Amino acid sequence: MTLTPKENFLKLLGGEIPDYVPSMFFSPHMEMITEEMIAPVFAPNGPITTVYGVEYIGSKEIGNGALPTPGKILLEDITKWRDVIKNPDTSHRDWEGYYKKQTDKFDRVNKAVSCHGGDYFLTLVSFMGFTGALMAMYEEPDEVYALFDFISEHYCEVERQQMRHVKPELYSIMDDDAAMRAPFFSVDMYQKLVKPFHKKHADIALENRALLGRHDCGHSDCFIDDWLDIGIRCWNPAQVSNDLIAVKKKYTGKLTLNGCWDNTGLLGSTAVDDAVLREALYTYVDTFAPGGSFIFSAMIMAQPGDPLAMTKTAIIKDVYDNYARDYYKTH
């Protein structure tokens, strides 16, 4: 009997070889909660102001991904955070009703449900700007730790409510801490300032029998051992600036790679030749599918409805349907 996309995905995250290769786009296996009590993921309809007073905006050029509005700094001096940053009062919030409006529409038979949070570094960036955040971490680490400890009261409360009312199968820690070529800070700084708070979220999820994912863009493979230490089982987008072949060899069965496709280069663009794209897709699957721990995530980066992108996506789907999906039955 064929496993549902949800069953197959959970089998994969459990460290087993799945019945078939999952795909983010062609065998959808995930429902994601929208959470208004933390930083937004998307901002398609204009500015969004968070519970901490940070304004986020989106644009079509970045797929409406939410970013703090440039030039608006909430916290100039990290030593003054106690005067500026206040946790919201959620004592009268209808948590159950908020989540029920979403989960009532979910297909929980075929799709796993994912909640997310834990973006401490990005929260600091949203308060202080990128440069201000990094300078604060370097110059006043004790104050940064104290601020993280304070906001963790709210962030962890949000997660507890998610666990209580949503009962997700997956919890993703969403905290980008690397650029394409290098992380923004050292492993030592991560271990001292950020990891303790990621672990708080990981522990809550594990106590509620949710599996753990990690969203981290850029060259962030130096943090993998710390992720595994707190229970992370899946990493997205696992971008190609990392040594993914080495990661695959070392961590197969321990860490699922959701990504490994060069979506920022030629292969992810509408300019790629059809034959080149098809051959690259076969190489992609042959490199990362063996042994499991892989989610097929090839894609073309373009505006919705772009006819060239639709043509290239049809090639990607053909390779998935006729080669990648049943890889473990044919190889």
**129: which 2 tokens?**
């700007």
pLDDT of amino acid 1: 72
User: Among residues 177, 185, 28, 173, which one has the least CA distance to residue 111?
Assistant: 28
DSSP 11: H
Residue ranges of the chain whose pLDDT lies below 70: none
Q: How far apart are the first and last CA of the chain?
A: 20
pLDDT tens per residue across span 247-262: 999 999 999 999 999 9
- In sequence order, what are the residues at sequence separation of 6 or more whose Cβ sits closer than 8 angstroms to the Cβ of residue 142? none
**128: which 2 tokens?**
């202080």
User: What is the side-by-side order of every strand in the sheet holding 112-117?
Assistant: 30-32, 112-117, 170-174, 211-215, 232-236, 256-259, 294-296
Rounded distance between C-alpha atoms, residue 10 and residue 108, angstroms: 13
**281: which 2 tokens?**
């897709």
**247: which 2 tokens?**
């990661």
Rounded distance between C-alpha atoms, residue 287 and residue 244, angstroms: 10
pLDDT of amino acid 27: 93
Rounded distance between C-alpha atoms, residue 95 and residue 244, angstroms: 40
pLDDT of amino acid 62: 77
User: Among residues 200, 6, 13, 245, which one has the least CA distance to residue 113?
Assistant: 6
Whether the ω angle into residue 168 lies within 30 degrees of 0, i.e. cis, is no
Rounded distance between C-alpha atoms, residue 219 and residue 242, angstroms: 5
